């Protein structure tokens, strides 16, 4: 009887989320300003919050295009200033309006949480995206099927179900969410080994074997002449086990709040 109780207790521990036992949640967005984060807007140097792309008001971080008028390719990333390896990141987001005039159709209601990415200062001046793995966030119009919590691979590659992902993006199993609807999103990262993504508490995506894919670098104009670019090239198709988190803007206003981090002991 006692042995059975020990076995049951052991199984209960194995079934519990290990991350909860290893750390605690802490806010990494103070709700007042961009402290701890660095903007990087395409064609602009790191640290320049061009045309107030990132705005904080009433405890909410907004990717704003109020001062743009027209959008060309000013893809923007707000990079958390600390390198991370194993962690859980959770936040709430919602799309809050129409795309900026000039935006590409695929970029409408499109954002992402970039994981294991470059530091803002390591990106080229004309580099639209960091080399990273993108936990993609999408919104849909009424009647449109457009899942969120997908995975995309700018300069990287992953495997899903033991098979290399051949396409650039893979849809998750989530439903479609509309403008104005707050959505809870969480990404659980274990180095280069495993990533799980959750939408409103339900797992919608899992992938593994995160690696660099140098053949893709030219496609988004990474400056390989820089020291940072040369260092990345020298790594070849190495495992991608750590890097920087960033929040993305691709032409449609989006808001983020309750941005929290739990570091793990992988």
**pLDDT tens digits, 66-100:** 999 999 999 999 999 999 999 999 999 999 989 99
pTM, two decimal places = 0.90
**Domain ranges (residues) in the chain:** 24-263
- The mean pLDDT value of the chain amounts to 91
What stretch of H or E contains 209?
A: strand 202-212
pLDDT in tens, 25-55: 999 999 999 999 999 999 999 999 999 999 9
Distances from the Cα of 177 to the Cα of 141, 181, 186, angstroms: 8, 7, 16
The pLDDT of residue 122 is above 70: yes
Fold topology of 24-263: Jelly Rolls (2.60.120)
Give residue-wise pLDDT tens across range 133-166: 999 999 998 889 999 999 999 999 999 999 999 9
Give residue 250's region: left, alpha or beta (phi > 0; psi -120 to 50): alpha
Whole-angstrom CA distances from 147 to 89, 108, 136, 189 are 20, 13, 10, 21
């Amino acid at each position: 009887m006692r042995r059975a109780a020990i076995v049951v207790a052991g199984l209960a521990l194995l079934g519990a989320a290990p991350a909860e036992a290893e750390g605690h949640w802490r806010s990494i967005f103070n709700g007042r300003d961009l402290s701890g984060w660095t903007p990087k807007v395409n064609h602009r140097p790191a640290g320049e919050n061009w045309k107030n792309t990132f705005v904080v008001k009433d405890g909410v971080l907004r990717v704003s295009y109020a001062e743009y008028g027209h959008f060309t390719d000013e893809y923007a990333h707000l990079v958390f200033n600390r390198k991370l390896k194993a962690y859980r990141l959770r936040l709430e987001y919602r799309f809050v309006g129409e795309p900026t005039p000039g935006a590409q159709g695929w970029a409408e209601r499109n954002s992402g949480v970039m994981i294991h990415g470059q530091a803002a200062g390591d990106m080229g001046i004309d580099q639209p995206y960091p080399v990273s793995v993108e936990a993609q966030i999408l919104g849909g119009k009424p009647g449109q099927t457009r899942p969120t919590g997908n995975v995309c691979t700018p300069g990287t590659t992953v495997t899903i179900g033991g098979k290399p992902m051949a396409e650039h993006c893979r849809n998750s199993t989530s439903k479609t969410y509309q403008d104005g609807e707050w959505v809870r999103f969480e990404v659980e990262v274990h180095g280069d080994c495993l990533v799980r993504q959750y939408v409103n508490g339900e797992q919608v995506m899992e992938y593994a074997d995160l690696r660099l894919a140098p053949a893709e670098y030219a496609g988004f104009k990474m400056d390989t002449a820089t020291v940072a670019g040369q260092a990345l090239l020298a790594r070849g198709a190495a495992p991608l086990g750590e890097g920087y988190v960033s929040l993305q803007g691709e032409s449609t206003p989006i808001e983020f709040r309750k941005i929290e981090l739990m570091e793990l002991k992988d």
